Chains A and B, each alone.
Chain A
Amino acid sequence: MTTDSPADSATEAQVAAAIVRCAAGDRAALRVIYDIEAGRMVGVARRMLRRQDLAEEAVQDAFMRLWRSARTFDPAKGAARSWLYTILRNCALTVLRDENRFTADEGIAEEVAPMTENALARLPETSALRRCLERLDPPRRSVVVLAYVHGLSHGELAGKLGVPLGTVKSWVRRSLISLQECMG
């Protein structure tokens, strides 16, 4: 499995060990994870939710779920940090997709192209993800980047790019197929 995450393997090992300790009920281990990851977790949630209070709520919820489900973490099945960020993204998406709390006018005002480029530019030059995304046509690149980084739904992508929903769905799908072939 290829990964071009810049987080070093020592951090990965620390987080994995701390999750295992959480599974045994060790609260100090939860603090270890907080110290290592919470700042970046708030950053990730904030890119999706755009508000500090909502971002913190998602991170809090993610730590609760981490604590509850630490026993389900299986190092053989996947990396610890990707497990952690999956939980966080699910928590953030739950807040984001809750129509009663998030109205359309709170939506993103920024333009598609600079938003996409900003996220891409943060990836290392050597990143396979960056290289493969840059091979896609700009709008097809944007749908993938905006969905992952800013949590946009199919419908929001269609609105933002001004194309029909069916077109967005097929762009996302084809972009993923190209990405998978490119990244292996």
Chain B
Amino acid sequence: MTITPDDKALAGEYVLGVLEGEAKAAVERRVASDADFAREVESWRSRFVAFDDTTEAQAAGDALWRNIESGVSDTTTREPASPSLWSRFWNNLPALRAAALGTSFATLLLAVGLSFALRAAYQQPVMIAVLVDGNRTGAVVQTFADGRVVLLPLTEINVPAGRAIEVWTLPSRERGPVSVGLMNQARTLTLSLKDLPAPKPDQLFELTLEPATGSPTGRPTGPILFKGNTALAL
């Protein structure tokens, strides 16, 4: 796509932060699909970043760091999730090694391959649900082999004061929707499904807007923000 002077100004407006709503969303889509336009946006960023560089630094204390650190621990989804399992596997390695030495080099290769496969199994989601509202994607729910279920928001969700986002799942029609998480703003959240059967394919997850302390009835009462069903990850 060719870049017109209007496009350059549009990229500048986006970087300034004056675009809102659909205009902003349209620019973001274009940045994702049009490399020339994305370069214009990046040019504007590098022009204006001098303002950020010359800002007077303010105190950023240990309390702020502790909040960040604990937030990050909650959301560490890519590390091998259960070290105990990993270490149990390592403890088995002498056995594998002996086998490899005793038989053939091929066995060793197999062991190495197995370790990668095992590791991947615990890092990659088993099932994914993409939660949407019409054609807008709001979040994904990922379930892992070790039982963790994590919600990752993909968009900003406007939460009015005194309200919160509640996460629900429908383990079965008989049981009805069960609350598995509550948050006051869109963020990565480990969902609590401990008391529920492991999620199955085609299980519904949804986000609704509820009072700040969660739905008073134990069932969704507010508008549905995003919803979707689980599917096996390939």
Contact = CB atoms under 8 A, between A and B. Distances in A.
Interface of A: 1-7, 25, 27, 30-31, 34, 38-44, 46-47, 52, 55-56, 59-61, 63-64, 67-68, 77-79, 81-82, 85-86, 89, 93-94, 97-98, 100-101, 119, 122-124, 127-130, 144-145, 147-149, 151, 153-154, 157, 172-173, 176-177, 179-180, 183
B16 A148 contact: yes
Contacts of B78: 25
Interface in B188-229: 188
Interface in B52-101: 52-60, 64-65, 67-69, 71-72, 75-76, 78-79
A128 B58 CA distance: 26
A7 B16 CA distance: 21
A155 to B, nearest CB: 9
Given A39-B58, A85-B49, 18 more contacts: A1-B42, A6-B54, A27-B69, A38-B65, A42-B64, A56-B60, A59-B64, A63-B68, A78-B45, A85-B52, A100-B161, A122-B51, A122-B55, A123-B51, A124-B54, A148-B17, A176-B9, A179-B12
21 contacts: A1-B46, A5-B53, A27-B72, A38-B65, A39-B57, A40-B53, A42-B57, A42-B59, A64-B75, A68-B188, A78-B46, A119-B51, A122-B56, A130-B50, A144-B16, A149-B51, A153-B17, A172-B16, A173-B9, A179-B47, A180-B9
Interface stretch (B108-116, B152-160, B174-182): B152-160
B38 interface: yes
Given A60-B71, A172-B13, A176-B13, A78 B42 contact: yes
A97 B168 CA distance: 28
A81 B49 contact: yes
Contacts of A119: 51
Nearest to B54: A122
A99 to B, nearest CB: 9
B76 A25 contact: yes
Contacts of B5: 177, 180
B20 A97 contact: yes
A43 B152 contact: no
Contact of B17 (A25, A44, A147, A177): A147
B185 to A, nearest CB: 8
A183 B45 CA distance: 13
Nearest to B157: A94
B121 to A, nearest CB: 17
A119 B48 CA distance: 12
